[in-house]
A = this chain, B = another copy of it.
């Protein structure tokens, strides 16, 4: 079968996968966790091959670190699967039940989205996490890992698929593709693939978004801001900024630009600059900032504030107050996560009301934008789109709903002609 035929068959199978009961899905997750432990040697052997190939081809240290699949990663994977099994089923929840008329009852019930394509770079543990989320949410999944992790992903996928099918999930509900040309083929299958979730570099996500008509969930960029108001606790501001910049600079929820109220700039900037220097963070800024503290490289112009550094670099800018901060964020941000540090209530209320981002925080680090930290148990990624799920996307974001009506032979003509009438009563 061609990829197109396989995906079409998966689409026709997806209602069967969607109707799979909770017990079977949980059994699949637990069996997969057991099988991963049982076949650890095979998995580690495959990972050694990937690591060897990566070493030879001179791949960056950070990528090699993500590529490594060791006992720690295995434990995180099996714990994640077992935790997923313990979570409530996101499918089959009745979110509306309404009597439209006598013996005419409308319900709205959560259902899986259908066929989801997940395309991710480097990290092989993403294969396990995402397969688990798709199984629990009753979605069929097409999984494509990065070329660097192909040996590891192949073994991980075969372990999970076998376990899933042994537990009674429909054969063919999970599919792996490994060639880049196969991805290009899948990007064309908007009739059969309901959703794409790309995880990887900005350029990679942008490529996917630009080459398909399938809805894409995720984010190309994470340009997060922290605004330090004149009323801020400055010690707290320094601490939060350091956390948001340095704990994982490559993460999408790391801060890229700090906006500072002009009122406190003379006092606060030198203090912040010292802490950033101690943490090896390079500071960039426009002429105004450069007039107060030393900045690296050329001074910034407005268009530079669109930059996601992704490393230990931070842009600074002064603003008149919360209104200018909000305007800057809405114009230069990526609608991911933005925070205000303030002691007074008024600027916080404004910031909460007017910043148009998936996450808007007061007095805490932008790095809390994460499915685990929100208590969702797991996430498939963070969405900066406005449609469907927004922010960290957990199991609920992999579902949609369907309306069911139970009737007793009712016709619309009876209502439009006035012989019967609706009396809407929520049950």
Contact of A362 among B240, B247, B407 (CB under 8 A): B407
In the complex formed, the residue of B with least CB distance to A416 is: B247
Interface residue A327 (Cβ < 8 Å from any Cβ of B): yes
Is the CB–CB distance between A411 and B104 below 8 Å?
no
Known: A373-B100, A404-B352. A363 touches B422 (CB 8 A): no
Interface residue A277 (Cβ < 8 Å from any Cβ of B): no
CB 8 Å contact bits of A386-416 with B (1 = contact, 0 = none): 1110111000000011111111111111011
Contacting chain B: which of A8-16, A73-81, A153-161, A295-303?
A8-16
Contacting chain B: which of A264-272, A284-292, A311-319, A353-361?
A353-361
In the complex formed, the residue of B with least CB distance to A104 is: B364
In the complex formed, the residue of B with least CB distance to A349 is: B19
A82 CB to nearest chain B CB (Å) = 18
In the complex formed, the residue of B with least CB distance to A405 is: B361
SS of A interface (majority): mixed
Is the CB–CB distance between A194 and B387 below 8 Å?
yes
Is the CB–CB distance between B239 and A359 below 8 Å?
no
Interface residue A98 (Cβ < 8 Å from any Cβ of B): yes
Chain B residues with CB below 8 A from A150, complex form:
none
Is the CB–CB distance between A412 and B368 below 8 Å?
yes
Is the CB–CB distance between A375 and B98 below 8 Å?
yes
A218 CB to nearest chain B CB (Å) = 13
Is the CB–CB distance between A375 and B100 below 8 Å?
yes
How many A residues, CB 8 Å from partner? 76
Is the CB–CB distance between B411 and A240 below 8 Å?
yes
Interface residue A174 (Cβ < 8 Å from any Cβ of B): no
Interface residue A171 (Cβ < 8 Å from any Cβ of B): no
**How many angstroms from the CA of A406 to the CA of B424 in the assembled complex?**
38
Is the CB–CB distance between A247 and B363 below 8 Å?
no
Is the CB–CB distance between A239 and B411 below 8 Å?
yes
A121 CB to nearest chain B CB (Å) = 23
Is the CB–CB distance between B390 and A387 below 8 Å?
no
A368 CB to nearest chain B CB (Å) = 6
Contact of A387 among B195, B354, B357 (CB under 8 A): B195
In the complex formed, the residue of B with least CB distance to A210 is: B213
Interface residue A320 (Cβ < 8 Å from any Cβ of B): no
**How many angstroms from the CA of A114 to the CA of B15 in the assembled complex?**
33
**How many angstroms from the CA of A355 to the CA of B405 in the assembled complex?**
13
| A12-B331, A361-B405, A390-B403 given; 11 more Cβ-contact pairs under 8 Å | A15-B354, A19-B354, A113-B386, A114-B356, A239-B409, A243-B412, A360-B404, A362-B405, A363-B406, A387-B387, A390-B401
> Can you name 23 A-B residue pairings with CB atoms under 8 Å?
A18-B353, A100-B373, A100-B375, A104-B368, A113-B387, A114-B356, A215-B385, A233-B409, A243-B412, A243-B413, A247-B412, A358-B402, A360-B403, A362-B405, A363-B406, A363-B408, A364-B408, A367-B411, A368-B405, A374-B403, A375-B422, A387-B400, A391-B402
